[in-house]
A and B are shown apart, each in its own frame.
Chain A
C-alpha cells in the first residue's frame, strides 16, 4: 500500500468552494427547483385539497412533508447535471490524474447539493407559512426533521451522482430523477393510503417516502413518531451507503 499523505478535508473543502461558486453564479437553479413543488402545493391546497379527506383540518400541514421530499428529488438532478458536465469537459480526467483525494470531487458536489437543497427547503417552508402552515413542534423536533431531510438529500444525491457519472447523454443524466419526483404520489404524502387498491396500498405503505413523510408529519405536529422515524432513518442510511459505493465505483471507472 502507498503511504502517501492525503488531504481529504482540505481537498473536499476546495471542491465545495468550487461547486458553491457554480450555484451562487446560477441562482436561477435554486428558484427553478422551487417552482414545481410550490405549484404542486398551490394546486393541491387550493384545487384538490377541499375534496381530500385526510382527517386533519389543515391540509397544508398534511401536505408539506411530501412537497419537501419532491423538492429534494428535483434539486438533486443538478448534481447529475454538474457531474456529467465535469465528465464531458475532461475535468474529471484532470482531477483523477492529480494527486488529490479520489472522492473529493464527489463529496464537493454532494455537500454542495445539501446546501442548495436546504435553501430550497427554506423557501418552500416560507411559502407554506404564508399558505397557513403552522407547527407546534419544539426545537428538538425541528432538528430531527432537519436531520431526516439532510439524510434524504444525501441518499438521493448519491443516486444522482451515479446517474451523472454513468450517463452517456445529458438527457440520460437527468432522466433518473423523474421516478423519484413521482414517488411521493404513490405514498401517504398527498392522501391517506386507506382508499388505495390493495396492491398499490401495499407498495405505498412499504416504500421509503411514506415512512419518511409520516415521521416528519408526526414530528411537526408534536405527535409521537414511533417506528416511522427508525424506518425512515434506515431507508435513508441504507440508500445512501449503497448509492455511495456505486458512485465511487463509477467515478474510478470513469475514463473516456
Chain B
C-alpha cells in the first residue's frame, strides 16, 4: 500500500492572513479520506494546492508520487477535481459535457464513454437535455461523472454534498463508496461530521491552520474518555423520518 497523497509542513498565507500553518497528512491508496473543518478553515485551500490550482508558500505536497509544485502536469494526469459548485457547461447537453471532457483527456471512443457513465449515474434519460433542466442531485451526479472520465486514480471532492437535499446526499455517498470499492482513492472535504462518519476510512480535523486530530473513527473515539453506558430512549431524527416517508431508507 503506497501513499496516494503525502503532505508535510504545508503553509499558505493570503495577504497577511496565515491560512495553513504547517499541515501534515497522508492518504493511503484506495481509501476514503475525509478532511473535516468548519467554514473558512482552509479545506479548499488544501484541495487547490493538491490539485495544482494554487502554489503553496511552503512545505511539500506529493500526489501519486509527484511533487505538486515541480511536476503539476504529472499530478494532473492522476487526479480529478469536483469543486464546491457543479462545474458543468450549461449550454451543452449532459452527453456533450461528458464527450467534451473525454476529448480533452484524449481518450478513444468518447461517445461510448459518455453512454457508459450516463448509464451508470442514471442520467441516460436526461442525456440530451441541458443541465439547467436538472435537479440539484442530477447536476451533482453529472459533475461527478465528468470527474470520472478517464478513470483517474485519485479523486478530490470538495464539499460534494453541500446544498444537496438528503436524498441527493445519500446518492452521492453511494457513488463515493462504489468508487472506493473500485480502488479509487477519494479525498473529500466536508463540514458534516455525519458524512465523514458514514464514508471515511480515515479522517483529519483541520482547525486554525493545523491538523489537530487524525485517524480512523475508532481512533478518534479513543481520544474521548471511556464511554459510560446510559439508557436513552431513541427518537428517530427528522432525517430518518423524512427518508422513511419517501421510501428511500434502504439506500443508506
Assess the A89–B100 pair: CB atoms within 8 A.
no
Residues of B within 8 A of A26 (CB): 91
Residues of B within 8 A of A96 (CB): 52-53
Assess the A255–B80 pair: CB atoms within 8 A.
no
Q: Distance (Å) between the CB of A2 and the closest chain B CB?
A: 5
List chain A positions with a Cβ less than 8 A from chain B: 2, 4, 7, 10-11, 14, 18, 21-22, 25-26, 85, 89-91, 93-100, 104, 255-256
Residues of A within 8 A of B146 (CB): 94
Residues of A within 8 A of B101 (CB): 98
Assess the A99–B89 pair: CB atoms within 8 A.
no
Assess the A97–B91 pair: CB atoms within 8 A.
no
Assess the B106–A89 pair: CB atoms within 8 A.
no
Chain B interface size band reads 20 to 34
Q: Is the C-beta of B74 less than 8 angstroms from some C-beta in chain A? A: yes
Question: Quick one: given A2-B73, A91-B87, A93-B87, are A255 and B96 in contact (CB under 8 Å)?
Answer: no
Question: Quick one: given A2-B71, A18-B92, A21-B92, are A255 and B53 in contact (CB under 8 Å)?
Answer: yes
What is the CA–CA distance of A85 and B52 in the complex, to the nearest angstrom? 21
Residues of A within 8 A of B53 (CB): 93, 96-97, 255
Q: Distance (Å) between the CB of A120 and the closest chain B CB?
A: 20
Can you report 26 A-B residue pairs in the complex whose CB atoms are below 8 A from each other?
A2-B74, A11-B104, A14-B100, A14-B103, A22-B91, A26-B91, A89-B86, A89-B87, A90-B84, A90-B86, A90-B87, A91-B87, A91-B88, A93-B53, A93-B81, A93-B83, A94-B81, A96-B52, A97-B53, A97-B79, A98-B76, A99-B73, A99-B76, A100-B104, A104-B104, A256-B83
Assess the B83–A94 pair: CB atoms within 8 A.
yes
**Which B50-77 residues have a C-beta within 8 angstroms of A?**
51-54, 71, 73-74, 76-77
Assess the B52–A97 pair: CB atoms within 8 A.
yes
What is the CA–CA distance of A2 and B85 in the complex, to the nearest angstrom? 31
Residues of B within 8 A of A10 (CB): 103, 106
Nearest B residue to A85 via CB reads: B90
Residues of B within 8 A of A256 (CB): 44, 48, 83
Within 8 Å by CB of B76, from A14, A85, A90, A97, lies A97
Residues of A within 8 A of B91 (CB): 21-22, 25-26
Q: Distance (Å) between the CB of A68 and the closest chain B CB?
A: 28
Residues of A within 8 A of B90 (CB): 85, 89
Residues of A within 8 A of B81 (CB): 93-94, 97
List chain B positions with a Cβ less than 8 A from chain A: 44, 48, 51-54, 71, 73-74, 76-77, 79-81, 83-92, 96, 100-101, 103-106, 146
Apart from A21-B91, A91-B88, what are 10 other A-B pairs with CB-CB below 8 Å?
Answer: A2-B73, A14-B100, A21-B96, A22-B91, A89-B87, A89-B88, A90-B83, A95-B104, A100-B104, A255-B48
Q: Distance (Å) between the CB of A87 and the closest chain B CB?
A: 10
Q: Distance (Å) between the CB of B53 and the closest chain A CB?
A: 4
Nearest A residue to B96 via CB reads: A21
Q: Nearest 10 CB-CB pairs, A to B?
A: A90-B87, A99-B76, A97-B81, A255-B53, A90-B83, A97-B51, A94-B87, A4-B73, A14-B103, A90-B85
Residues of B within 8 A of A18 (CB): 89, 92, 100
Q: Distance (Å) between the CB of A72 and the closest chain B CB?
A: 23
Assess the B74–A91 pair: CB atoms within 8 A.
no
What is the CA–CA distance of A94 and B144 in the complex, to the nearest angstrom? 11
Nearest A residue to B48 via CB reads: A255
What is the CA–CA distance of A14 and B102 in the complex, to the nearest angstrom? 10
What is the CA–CA distance of A255 and B51 in the complex, to the nearest angstrom? 11
Question: Quick one: given A14-B100, A21-B96, are A99 and B77 in contact (CB under 8 Å)?
Answer: yes
What is the CA–CA distance of A11 and B77 in the complex, to the nearest angstrom? 15
Nearest A residue to B51 via CB reads: A97
